[in-house]
Structure 1
């Protein structure tokens, strides 16, 4: 969900504001288009975005833009953004149309200093919010611990720590939290208990990846490891069936995770399990196994990657 931005700076038209940036997108929209066709899928996604826009407005927010199946909003305060995110998830869970169509959203937000120009926003806070959105899963709200610390009159808002992740442009990992919006709040921590910067889960976790004699070691605080045909990838696999930006491996939510972004898929075998094809989805690594980009291991024996968790 990272946005490509070209900033034409004009001091006379720009100002810095402390804002909450929220991204929400429809989960599984690609499959929706495959199942329902372009016209009906577009109608359903538009209905979702209209509902989310209305909720943003009721919480003092402003819709900056909609991009395909995604909406980007700003709010004057952290609490406005968090409450809007909660109401967005509740609307999706209780609206008869959305429930019938099995529609859901994922939401990410962050509060920070933002450069405002005309009807758009730029800067580090926007990039961080976009990273929260890409980290969130279906029916989840992810935000930064710093955003939650800034909440006032938070009432019954509950969160739980998701550990620390890397964000592009930041030297150190940042702690993130999951905002619990469901009615059943059993077995979750409060805002005060969730935020412990000195207690990052999984800080000793390691993942080793071996490819053609080269070994890459990834820790819980490492930058994401990229796989693909692009020369700037962490591990370059140069084959015609491999996408330029094929897959990403990173540590999040307590696990090393591989996310496929390719055309032909990623084939993963964990331990003695059967090989599985991953396509525009993600799975957690366990134990040891193999990764093959674009083709099954049986058809791609010269380009197999081997991983091991420790």
Structure 2
């Protein structure tokens, strides 16, 4: 190798792969020696051979992961696919919460080269992309995607522009659609044997688009404003927004007796999607006329005049059931989203209900995201188009700028259609987000405005589930927890799949001094939407409730899970610091407090005592106990 002159900065363009173990702290906490041994074995048996096979080399190990460099993005992606598949094969029999799974980020960029390391934005972007990947998944930048598109045997899901920590500009990201569920890889009657590279990866391939980040609340559903009645007087053409047919799922089990279960999943999904206000869902009888026939989705779209086709398959093997689902654009035939569910078979009807609920939650988000992309291309946007764009802005990082942008779209929609329930609910969510996440100095005024706007929306559409949910959260955050619970229960009566309503009921009960009941509601929210973007916040609620109950060890476990799910949420670090301090783990407490202060330098104990959302004596006593732990962790008094 040619030696560069001393003192000269050496740069080169590289394909960088960053990887880490999902939930590494939890795994080490459960069994340190076993986790270390398993990780070493996987690196030796799966990772290192794959990297060598594709011309790469490991730049450095990072304890729970590694950084590797490749000559091209194509080889980096191929190596990642190879070792992810091999790791899945080697760990498939292990208990899920003890299974090692890597998250991978890949980028092409200019790097600074030193003897045993590489530096620069090219490396940082790869590391941040790894942070947004699912366990077992691969996220890549647009620069890498441009190089690998059409050259590797997988499809990609467009995650849109993502704001990555400490990266100046948003980065367009793509996620590998796992299990080969991309275009052309799975028809309703296809063999389920998959390519070896992607066999067995069963984790979710896309994140829910929702990102309404709020403090001490469970607001996440991107399709909120759809969950209820359409705007009064609105009449949709059959090919209008959210028109879809759920084709009969294929029974790949080889057991005709399973047909009733497969048809039940199809029918349940049709019913659940019909609850999305403004949707046009083809009736069951028309959809089932395609059962057992070769399908051309574009022809189906033309015949039924729908924009989207949902198709899938169900396969039972032994005591496990696998459900594959794909959402397809009927106009282009392009695959927009794919998902795989695999669960033990217990009670088939309960399992059918759970699968249908989760799919309905996810599909609501995916359909709204697809419509938002369409709306952006419109030369003359309608009120409905502007509402979609408002929610697209709302789903970005919750900054005052993005909230202002979202409000602008909703106000334009209201100028066209003053009684647009979608725009009113969107505006209410903007104010709720600003007030509850303290993005404004007039917190209480914003919450009051959100409440008033939600009430106005309900005057136009009394059965809008999301308006009830927004109102319930506003009540909960302004010392009216009982009313908040009542509104969330009304929302659930209208839409049983609103995971955030369950979570807010759990939060409200914590505020009411009934912390022992919080966990059950959060567990139900996580059951409905286990990989929800707000799952980390829901876990935080349980940790806070456990602290109120004096169950400090359990609190620490839940708060640790919250941190592992999202390391940028400061409250989880502070509450974990308090739990650790109360448990006597002073070093861990102080480290957690430092992590929290790095994210929120202005946090003080005084803020905890003055910014509360309840004056219930049990709740207040719990806060005082929390403050004892915070003092032990070294959090400033303020």
Measured after TM superposition, the shift of residue 85 of structure 1 is 1.3
1:130 to 121, 127, 147: 127
2:35 is aligned with 1:41: yes
Which residue of 2 is the match for residue 187 of structure 1?
326
Which residue of 2 is the match for residue 6 of structure 1?
none
Which residue of 1 is the match for residue 18 of structure 2?
23
Separation in 1 of the partners of 2:573 and 2:126? 32
Residue 392 of structure 2 aligns to a residue whose secondary structure is coil
CA RMSD of aligned residues (A): 4.3
Measured after TM superposition, the shift of residue 136 of structure 1 is 1.6
1:22-101 alignment runs, 5 A limit:
22-36=17-31, 38-50=32-44, 51-96=46-91, 99=94
Flag the structure with higher helix content.
2
2:392 is aligned with 1:202: yes
Residue 182 of structure 1 aligns to a residue whose secondary structure is helix
Separation in 1 of the partners of 2:439 and 2:107? 40
Separation in 2 of the partners of 1:193 and 1:213? 37
Contact 1:114 1:121 in 2 (8 A): yes
1:93-112 alignment runs, 5 A limit:
93-96=88-91, 99=94, 102-112=99-109
2:156 is aligned with 1:159: yes
Separation in 1 of the partners of 2:94 and 2:17? 23
Contact 2:111 2:121 in 1 (8 A): yes
Separation in 1 of the partners of 2:11 and 2:327? 36
Measured after TM superposition, the shift of residue 152 of structure 1 is 6.0
Q: Deviations over 1:84-130 (max 9, x none)?
A: 11112111111157746522111111111112222211111011111
Measured after TM superposition, the shift of residue 171 of structure 1 is 3.6
Separation in 1 of the partners of 2:115 and 2:572? 46
Contact 1:157 1:179 in 2 (8 A): yes
Tell me which moved more, 149-158 or 85-94. Answer: 149-158
Decide whether aligned partners of structure 1 residues 30 and 142 sit closer, same or farther in structure 2, where only a CA change above 3 A counts.
Answer: same
Contact 2:105 2:140 in 1 (8 A): yes
TM-score by length of 2: 0.33
Separation in 2 of the partners of 1:32 and 1:257? 19
Measured after TM superposition, the shift of residue 53 of structure 1 is 1.9
Contact 1:158 1:188 in 2 (8 A): no
Separation in 2 of the partners of 1:85 and 1:305? 46
Which residue of 1 is the match for residue 441 of structure 2?
214
Separation in 1 of the partners of 2:536 and 2:126? 21
Q: Deviations over 1:2-40 (max 9, x none)?
A: xxxxxxx9765542221111111122222222222x322
Q: How many residues align?
A: 244
Could you say which structure has the greater relative contact order, defined with CA pairs below 8 angstroms and 6 or more residues apart? 1
Greater Rg over alpha carbons, structure: 2
Separation in 1 of the partners of 2:572 and 2:135? 25
Residue 53 of structure 1 aligns to a residue whose secondary structure is helix
Decide whether aligned partners of structure 1 residues 152 and 31 sit closer, same or farther in structure 2, where only a CA change above 3 A counts.
Answer: closer
